[in-house]
Amino acid sequence: MNKPHSPRGFTIVELLIVIVVIAILAAITVVAYNGIQERAKVSQANSELNMFIKAIHTARLNTDRTLYSITGSNCTRCSTDPARYVLSIDRIAAASQTNLDSIKDGNPWGDPYGIDENEGEGSTQAAQCSNRDSVTAGTSNKGIATIMIPFYNCSN
C-alpha cells in the first residue's frame, strides 16, 4: 500500500512571500527612523537656540552692553574663521555666566549657528537702531526660523 504523500516544508512561493513582507516592513522602519532623526535634530536646534537667546539676554543685562560690543564683532556669521565664532561664543558665555560649550560645535547638522550683531552698528542713532541682532540655525536651516533678538538700547 502506498501512503499518501504529505507535504514537508514550505514551497518557494511561500518563502518569497515571507521575504517580500519582511523587506516591506524593513523599508517602512528605515523611513520612519530617518524622519524621527530629523525631527530630533530640529528639536535639538530649537532648544539650543532658545538657550543661546537666553544667554545673550543675560549677557546684555549683566554687562549693560549690546551684543556687538560683547562679541567685538558686527557679523560673526560673516566670518569663515571658526576661531572667531568660538571667540564670540566664549565672550557671550563669560558675560552671561552660562555654559555654551554645546553651541561651539554648531547645530545638529554640523554648521555653526549664525550670529549677526547689528544693533549698535553705524555712526548715527538711527543707523544704530535700524537693524536687530539675530541668531540663525546656520546654513542648514531645515525650516528653523531666524530669531530676531529684541533691541537692547533702542526702542522696539
DSSP assigned state of 94: H
The pLDDT of residue 63 is 93
Q: Strand, coil or helix: what is 152? A: coil
The pLDDT of residue 51 is 92
| Mean pLDDT value across residues 60-82 | 86
The two most distant CA atoms of the chain are separated, in Å, by 111
The pLDDT of residue 121 is 66
Q: Which residue has the higher pLDDT, 114 or 92?
A: 92
* Alpha helices (H) in 64-152, listed in sequence order: 67-71, 82-96, 101-104, 125-128
Q: Say if residues 114 and 106 touch (Cβ distance below 8 Å).
A: no
The pLDDT of residue 145 is 67
Q: Which residue has the higher pLDDT, 144 or 109?
A: 109
| Spatial distance between the Cα atoms of 46 and 38, rounded to a whole number of angstroms | 12
Q: Which residue has the higher pLDDT, 110 or 150?
A: 110
pLDDT in tens, 29-42: 888 887 788 888 88
135's CB contacts (< 8 A; 6+ apart) are 49, 52, 53, 56, 113, 114, 115, 116, 146, 147, 149
Q: Name the pTM for this structure.
A: 0.72
Give exposure, 100-113, as e/b (b: 16+ Cβ within 10 Å): beebeebbbeeebb
The pLDDT of residue 155 is 61
Q: Which residue has the higher pLDDT, 147 or 87?
A: 87
| Spatial distance between the Cα atoms of 114 and 79, rounded to a whole number of angstroms | 10
13 pLDDT exceeds 60?
Answer: yes
| Spatial distance between the Cα atoms of 137 and 140, rounded to a whole number of angstroms | 7
pLDDT in tens, 96-141: 999 999 899 888 888 888 888 877 666 666 666 677 788 888 765 6
Q: Say if residues 67 and 149 touch (Cβ distance below 8 Å).
A: yes
